[in-house]
């Protein structure tokens, strides 16, 4: 691997910027994601920043169950992100519909709409679990 590729890989590992997309979450997972971003856990230590625009972000953090109504919007946000991009499904609903499984209006998880790289189960997952999810994603990047 050339120096250039090594440098790019280092930069990607050290600066994962996230964008949070709430499909139709009960806000449990959202509050845990916010808790992971605020001073107590301070993910800026690892270079993780929350961005407002999908054009600026590397990791799409999705929470909540994907209803038929929100699915095309989720797909669109995903397509607006520049390559290389990664998706993290946070919470039981995002991983596989959770308690809403078999509802007439709900898809079984984010991976029915867009490819998912990391699943963080839990209802809601603790901030430590969310940070662990990002670490798993970075480990995957390192191995690639």
Partner 1 sequence: MAGLVGSAYTVAVYGLALIVVVGILSLFFEWFDRKAFARLQNRYGPLHTGPSGLLQPLADFIKLLSKEDITPEAADKLLFALSPVVICTIPLLTLFFIPVFSKEAIVFFEGDLIFALFLATLLYLFVFIAAWSSTNPFSIVGGVRAALQLMSYEIPLALALIVPAMFAKSLSITTIAKWFETSFQPYALVPLALAFFIAVVCAQAELERVPFDIPEAESEIVAGWQTEFSGRKLALLRLASDIELVLMAALIATLFFGGAAGPWLPPFAWFLIKTTIVVFVFANIRALFARFRIDQLLRGAWGILLPLSMLNVFVAYVLMQMM
Q: Out of 35, 51, 126, 136, which residue is the one contacting partner 1 (CB under 8 A)? A: 51
Which range in 26-34, 62-70, 79-87, 100-108 contacts partner 1 by CB under 8 A?
79-87
- Over the Cα atoms of the chain, what is R_g? 15
Find residue 50's DSSP bridge partners: 18
Cβ closest to partner 1, residue 107 vs residue 114: 114
Q: Does 46 bind partner 1 (CB under 8 A)?
A: yes
Minimum distance between the CB of residue 71 and partner 1, rounded to whole angstroms? Answer: 21
Which range in 54-62, 68-76, 90-98, 107-115 contacts partner 1 by CB under 8 A?
54-62
Binding flags for partner 1, 81-120, as an x/- string (CB under 8 A): -xxx------------------------------------
Mapping DSSP onto H, E and C, the string for the chain reads CCHHHHHHHHHHHHCCEEEEEECCCCCHHHHHHHHHHCCCCCHHHHCCEECCCHHHCCEEEEECCCECCCHHHHHHHHHHCCCCCEEEEECHHHHHCHHHCCCCCECCCHHHCCCCCEEECCCCCCHHHHHHHHHHHHHHHHHC
**Strand runs (DSSP E) across 8-137, as ranges?**
17-22, 49-50, 59-63, 86-90, 118-120
Q: Out of 27, 34, 56, 139, which residue is the one contacting partner 1 (CB under 8 A)? A: 56
Binding flags for partner 1, 4-23, as an x/- string (CB under 8 A): ---xx-xxx-xx--------
Give residues in contact with partner 1 (CB under 8 A): 7-8, 10-12, 14-15, 39, 42, 44-47, 51-53, 55-56, 58, 80, 82-84
């Amino acid at each position: 691997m050339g120096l250039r590729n090594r440098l790019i890989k280092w930069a990607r590992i050290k600066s994962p910027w996230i964008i949070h997309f709430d499909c139709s979450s009960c806000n449990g997972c959202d509050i845990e994601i916010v808790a992971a971003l605020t001073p107590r856990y301070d993910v800026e230590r690892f270079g993780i920043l929350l961005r407002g625009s999908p054009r600026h972000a590397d990791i799409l953090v999705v929470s909540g169950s994907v209803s038929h109504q929100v699915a095309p919007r989720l797909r669109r946000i995903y397509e607006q992100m520049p390559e290389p991009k990664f998706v993290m499904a946070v919470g039981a609903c995002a991983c596989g519909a959770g308690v809403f499984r078999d509802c007439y209006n709900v898809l079984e998880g984010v991976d029915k709409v867009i490819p998912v790289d990391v699943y963080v189960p839990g209802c809601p997952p603790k901030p430590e679990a969310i940070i662990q999810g990002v670490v798993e994603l970075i480990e995957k990047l390192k191995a690639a």
